Structure formats: C-alpha cells, structure tokens
Chain A
Amino acid sequence: MVDAAASEAALPSPARRSSALRRFFRHRLAAIGMFVIAVLAIGAAGAPWLAPHDPDEIDISLRYAPPLTPGHILGSDDLGRDVLTRLLYAGQVSLSVGAAAMLVTVIVGFAVGASAAYHGGWINVVLMRLTDVMLCFPSVFLLLFVAAFVTPSLASIALMIGLTCWMEIARIVYAQILVLKSSDFIAAARMVGAPSWRIIVRQILPNTLAPIFVAATLNMANAILLESYISYLGYGIQPPAASWGNMLTNAQSDFQVDPMLAILPGLAITLAVTSFNLIGDGLRDALDPRMRERAAGAPP
C-alpha cells in the first residue's frame, strides 16, 4: 500500500487544486469554530435573558424530565432544575474561567519568557530552570493539589489553572525574543537610549504576538478542559453554581436514570474546546501557509 501511495505521489497530479481546497476548508473550519464560539458566548452572556427559567429554581415534581417536556426543552435534572438554563449559566462560568485562565497564562508566560530572554545572565538561568522544573509536574496533579486547599471561586480557579499552564507560552516567547534580540531594529532602539521595558512593550511585543495568539487560543481550550475536570471531581466550581464540569459530577449514576443529563454538558464542553482548537489551528495555518507550499515542491 505504501509503495503505491508513494509512487502515486511522485506522478503529476491535480494537487494544486486539492491543497488550495484544503486551505479553504481549513479556513472554513476555523470560521465554523468562530461561529460556534460566538453562539456559545452570546448564549452564555445572554443567559439572564435567554434562559427560560432561573438556574436554581427547584421543582421536585418534575425531576429527571426528558427533553422536549413542555417548559423544559432539554429536560430537567435531579432537582427539577431546567437543563437548558443551567447549561447557559454554566457556559458563563466555564467560558469566563477559560478566558481568565488564558489571560493569566499569557501574562505570566510572557513575563517569564521575555525577562529570561531579554536579560540573560542569572535571571535567564533561574527562570528557564524554573520553567523546566514546572514542566516536570503533570498539570492535573498540580492543579488538583492546589485546588484541594484553596477555597474555590471563579477567580481562584482561573488563577490556579493559569499558574500551572504558563510554561509553554514562556518557552515560545523566550525563543521568539532570542531571535529578535539580535536583530537590528532592537539594537537601534537601544542605541537611542530607550529603557528596557519600553523596548519590550513597544518593539518586542508586536512581533511575538502571532505565535502567542495561537498558543493562547489552544491554552483556552485546555483551560476549559481542566476546569471541567476539577469541577467534576468537586474541587472546582461548587454547587449550586453550575459549570459544565460539575453538572457531570453524578454522571455515572445519571446514565442509569436520564442519559441526556450526562451527555449534554459533555457535548457542550466538547463543542467549545473543539471550536477553540479549530480557531487555533486556523490561526497557525494563517501564519505560515506559504512555507508549507514551498516545501511541497514549487519551482526553484
């Protein structure tokens, strides 16, 4: 099979068409991702107006209602609370925790990476060693450990996730800046006498933005996954506040009684994360599609 495939690849093919097609699809996919996120975000932000019920409204008489019950389009949970409403409010929580965590990650990561690259010397050594050490810990372990001892709130969870995930961005920033540092326009700025922080913010930041955007988007996807996991275990968002993760805490038993209850929040998480991943991938493609084309054998 491999023989045929490789020889097929060596023959002339209408491949210009298919690689352009692929790029178009990729952008299509990224566009779909953005659309879905927009829908989720609007739904979440507009929860107070869009939700048919109050998220804490308990109705014992209507527990575990299946979807399409009048008044409860997506059904109700073990306490009779409307699922659609809770999903929307949970969206608020999960998406904002994801966004806040992503901000923390970017800020901390940029600070560490930029300082290490820009200053060099022992600051560089200490910071990069710190990054290496932090990377040795599986983030789930670290996160759970910290989450167990801190009273969980939206802010604290975002902070914790941010503080366990900044290392990748630090490395990206570090590499980018090292390249830029030896470039001419930075030398010129220094000769003119610009202070370090100014150089970092005005010259370096704009040039490192692109890969940071990509990493940040993918980071947000990861943050949502992490939040959902710790909330599922009970160390994240505490009930009665809803997050997609904690709506799944009793999923195993829910499957017996009302499978939809266990499926819908998971679907929401998957949808959000997939969209962010698609957007991140699309951004990454937009950064260097030309390099890919050249490697494929364009004329010399």
Chain B
Amino acid sequence: MLRFLLNRLLQSVVLLLGVSVIGFALMHLAPGGPMALYTLNPTVTAQDIERVKVLFGLDQPVYVQYLKWAGGMFTGNWGYSFFGGQQVREIVLDRLPATLELMGTSLLLALVIGVAIGVVSAVRHNSIVDYVSAVAAMIALSLPTFWFGLLAIYLFAQTLHWLPAGGTASTSGGDLFDRLRHLVLPVAVLSFVLVAQWSRYTRSSLLDILGQDYIRTARAKGLRPSRVLLNHALRAALAPLTTLAGLQLPLLVGGALVTETVFSWPGMGLLFVNALGMRDYPVLMAILMVGAFVVVLGNLLADVVVALVDPRVKLEHG
C-alpha cells in the first residue's frame, strides 16, 4: 500500500510540474507576453516598459524566469498583483473558501440526489422513471449553465423575490439563515448539471454491475434484494464512481467559475474573470495553478480511495 501511495504521489508531482510548464508557456506565448497591458498601450514609453521589465524580472532568460516562478509557486511566493501590488497569494487564498463552499455543497448535493436517481433508474431500468430521468438529464446537460443561472435569478429573485440575486450575504445581515438563502440559487444551478451527470454515471455503472456473475450468486444465496443492492452492487460501484468523481473535477471547477460570475459569488472564479479584464497575469496564473492543483489532488485522493475499496488494485501498482 505504501509503495502504491508513493507511486501515485510521484506521478502527481510530475503532473504538477507539467502543469507549471504549460502554464508558464501560456503566459509567455500570449501575444504581448506578460507585459501585454503595457506594450500594447501606446502611451507607455519604451523606457517605462524596460524599467517595469527589470522590476518584475522579465529581462532574464526564459528558463531562469521559469525556475524562479515555479520555485515561487511551490514555496508560496506567488508574486504581486499588477494592480495594487498586493500579494497574489493573499488575494487568491482569500477567495478560496467561498469557492470551496460553493463547490463542496454542490458536489455533496449532487452526489446524494444524483446517485439516488441513478440507482432507481438502474433497478427499474426501461421503466417510465428511468426514461423520464434520462430525458431530464439530457436537457440538464444541454443547458448553458450561465443562462440557466440568469433565468433562475430572473424567476426566483427578480420576479418572485423569494431568494437574493447574488453575493454570499446581505450587507446588513450575515447570520446563518441569510447565508443559506444566498447559497441556494448558486448551488441549485451548479448542482443541476452535476446531478444529471451523476445520475447517468451511477445508472450505467450499476447496470453493468447488476449483470455480473457475482450478483447472480448473491441472489442465488437467497439474500434480500436490498442487501444485494447495497452490500454487493453499490460496493462494487464505489470504485468506478470514485474514479469518475476525480475525472469530473475539472468540470466542477469550471462550472464553479461560470456560476460565480453569474451570481457575483466572491470566489476564485469571479476573481479570475475580473483579473482577466485587467490582464493581471500573476493573479490569473496563480488561479490557473490552484485550479489544476485541486484537480490533481482530487484525482490522487480518488485513486487512494479506490485502492482502499478494491483489493485488486494494489496488485497492479503496488
């Protein structure tokens, strides 16, 4: 088990290194380079540009810049914002909790509802319930999330006035109930797509499992159907579903960005879009890296869980 862990950790580190290289390459390949806002601005003189370059260490050879930047990333020195000069790390980490709150709640809700729907669809497959949920899932996956969010705001906030239109809390309040009210719409919108995905994943995994020989044996032993489903089928489904959860992470993070922009949710996604408008490279890069880091970490955790759950896995990699 330990060897397996070390192996996967090493792979994750390699992945992160690769991510940093790609990120750095992106930053420098973009037209105008990191100095785009200045070089493309006709009122800024060449001298000023040179001075700023030296200030930000951009006059040095590329690989040195990369090493400095990557080194900084891994040690917590994420540079300073092009606007305002604050520590990027502070700016970004300040926004992390809000994003995690949104992502975490949505994922949890989506898991509970999505898996339940998927289980029912699989057990009663080819029935009306199955069919209806398949169609609903299809539509949910085809809706543009941002548009759906706008519709939700229009309906629930502006027309019915049941729920607030954005932000995490009212300016006056901030108590738990108020915060929950603000959480409802963004979570509902983000989970909508997730529920659809999870119900489909669960349904197809479970259908596959229910056709396996060992389920037939379980039935042949005379076990109650609920026991066959929970102890045998769902246990077997844990592994593929966990792996799927890991693979879904990039979509979850991306979805969070979209949801945050629509609901003015003060998370990293909104920060990203704002920084984009100002071409604030350090902030943008930091968020990109944090996003990728979350994905890599999530996949690593998923792999560990799978190894714990499925005794066959250790043999392959251990």
A touches B in complex, CB < 8 A:
yes
Q: Which residues of A contact B (CB under 8 A)?
A: 2-3, 5-10, 15, 18-19, 21-22, 25, 29, 129-130, 132-142, 144-146, 148-150, 221, 225, 228-229, 232-233, 235, 245, 248, 251-252, 255-256, 259, 262-263, 265-266, 269-270, 273-274, 277-278, 281, 292, 295-297
A137 & B144 in contact (Cβ 8 Å cutoff): no
**A25 CA to B128 CA, complexed, in Å:** 12
**B284 interface residue per 8 A CB criterion:** yes
The reply to whether A278 and B138 form a contact with Cβ atoms under 8 Å apart is yes
Which residue of chain A lies nearest to B129 when distances are taken between CB atoms in the complex?
Answer: A5
Convert B105-133 into 0s and 1s, putting 1 for each residue whose CB lies closer than 8 angstroms to a CB of A. 00000000000000110011011000100
B254 touches A141 (CB 8 A): yes
The distance in angstroms between the C-alpha atoms of A15 and B120, with both chains bound, is: 17
A277, B135: Cα distance in complex, Å: 11
Whether, in the assembled complex, B258 has its beta carbon less than 8 Å from a beta carbon of chain A, the answer is: yes
Q: Are B31 and A270 in contact (CB under 8 A)?
A: no
Contact at A136–B124, with CB atoms within 8 Å? no
Stretch at the interface among B151-159, B178-186, B307-315: B151-159
- Complex CA distance for A130 and B158, rounded to whole angstroms: 46
Q: Complex formed: what's the CA distance from A5 to B121 in Å?
A: 10
Give 22 CB contacts A-B under 8 Å. A2-B225, A2-B226, A3-B225, A18-B127, A129-B14, A133-B18, A133-B19, A138-B251, A138-B257, A141-B288, A142-B288, A148-B279, A233-B273, A245-B144, A248-B147, A252-B150, A256-B158, A266-B150, A274-B142, A277-B138, A295-B207, A295-B208
B62 vs chain A, min Cβ distance (A): 18
A255 & B150 in contact (Cβ 8 Å cutoff): yes
Interface residue range, chain B: 35 or more
Q: How many A-B residue pairs have CB under 8 A?
A: 161
Give Cα distance in the complex from A269 to B229, angstroms: 39
Stretch with Cβ within 8 A of A (4 or more), from B82-90, B236-244, B289-297:
B289-297
- With both beta carbons as reference points, the residue of chain B lying nearest to A129 in the complex is identified as B18
Besides A136-B250, A149-B32, A266-B143, 10 new A-B residue pairs in contact (Cβ under 8 A), listed by A number: A29-B135, A134-B22, A137-B22, A137-B288, A138-B251, A138-B254, A138-B257, A139-B250, A141-B257, A141-B288
B124 x A10 contact (CB < 8 A): no
B147 and A6 contact, CB distance less than 8 A: no
Q: Which residue of B lies closest to A4 (CB)?
A: B225
Q: Which residues of B contact A148 (CB under 8 A)?
A: 276, 279
- Chain A residues positioned under 8 Å from B15 (CB to CB): 132-133, 136
**Chain A residues with CB under 8 A of B291:** 137-138, 141
**Do B26 and A145 touch (CB < 8 A)?**
yes
Known A2-B226, A145-B276, A296-B211: A270·B139 in contact at CB below 8 Å: yes
Q: Who on chain B is nearest to A1 by CB?
A: B120
Q: Is B219 an interface residue (CB 8 A)?
A: yes
Q: How far is the CB of B225 from chain A (nearest CB, A)?
A: 3
Q: Which residues of the partner chain B approach A263 to less than 8 Å between Cβ atoms?
A: 151
Distance of A7 Cα from B227 Cα, bound (Å): 12
DSSP majority for the B interface? helix
Given contacts A277-B142, A278-B138, contact A6 B126 (CB under 8 A): no
Contacts of B143 in A (CB 8 A): 266, 270, 273
Q: Is the CB of B31 within 8 A of A150?
A: yes
Q: Is there contact, CB below 8 Å, between B158 and A248?
A: no
B196 to chain A, nearest CB (A): 11
Alpha-carbon distance A146/B153, docked complex (angstroms): 29
**B146 near A: Cβ within 8 Å?**
yes
How far, in angstroms, from A274 to B143 measured CA to CA in the complex? 8
Top 10 nearest A-B pairs by Cβ distance?
A6-B225, A295-B211, A133-B18, A140-B254, A266-B147, A138-B254, A149-B30, A274-B142, A273-B142, A138-B253
Complex Cα distance, B123 from A10, in Å, reads 10
Residues in chain B near residue A255, CB distance under 8 A: 150, 153-154, 158
Whether B138 pairs with A281 at a CB distance below 8 angstroms is yes
Task: Point out the residues of chain A lying under 8 angstroms from B147, CB to CB.
Answer: 228, 232, 248, 251, 265-266, 269-270
- Those of B221-271 within 8 Å (CB) of chain A: 224-226, 228-229, 250-251, 253-255, 257-258, 261
The answer to whether the Cβ of B36 comes within 8 Å of any Cβ in the partner chain is yes
In the complex, A148 Cα to B26 Cα: how many Å? 12
Distance between Cα atoms of A292 and B210 in the complex (Å): 12
Q: Which residues of A contact B279 (CB under 8 A)?
A: 148-149
- What is the CA–CA distance of A150 and B40 in the complex, to the nearest angstrom? 13
Whether A3 contacts B226 in the complex (CB less than 8 A), given A134-B22, A149-B31, A255-B158, comes out as yes
- Taking the complex as formed, is B189 at the interface, i.e. its CB lies under 8 A from any CB of chain A? no
The chain B residue with its CB closest to the CB of A150 is B31
A140 adjacent to B31 (CB under 8 Å): no
**Complex Cα–Cα for A25 and B126 (A):** 11
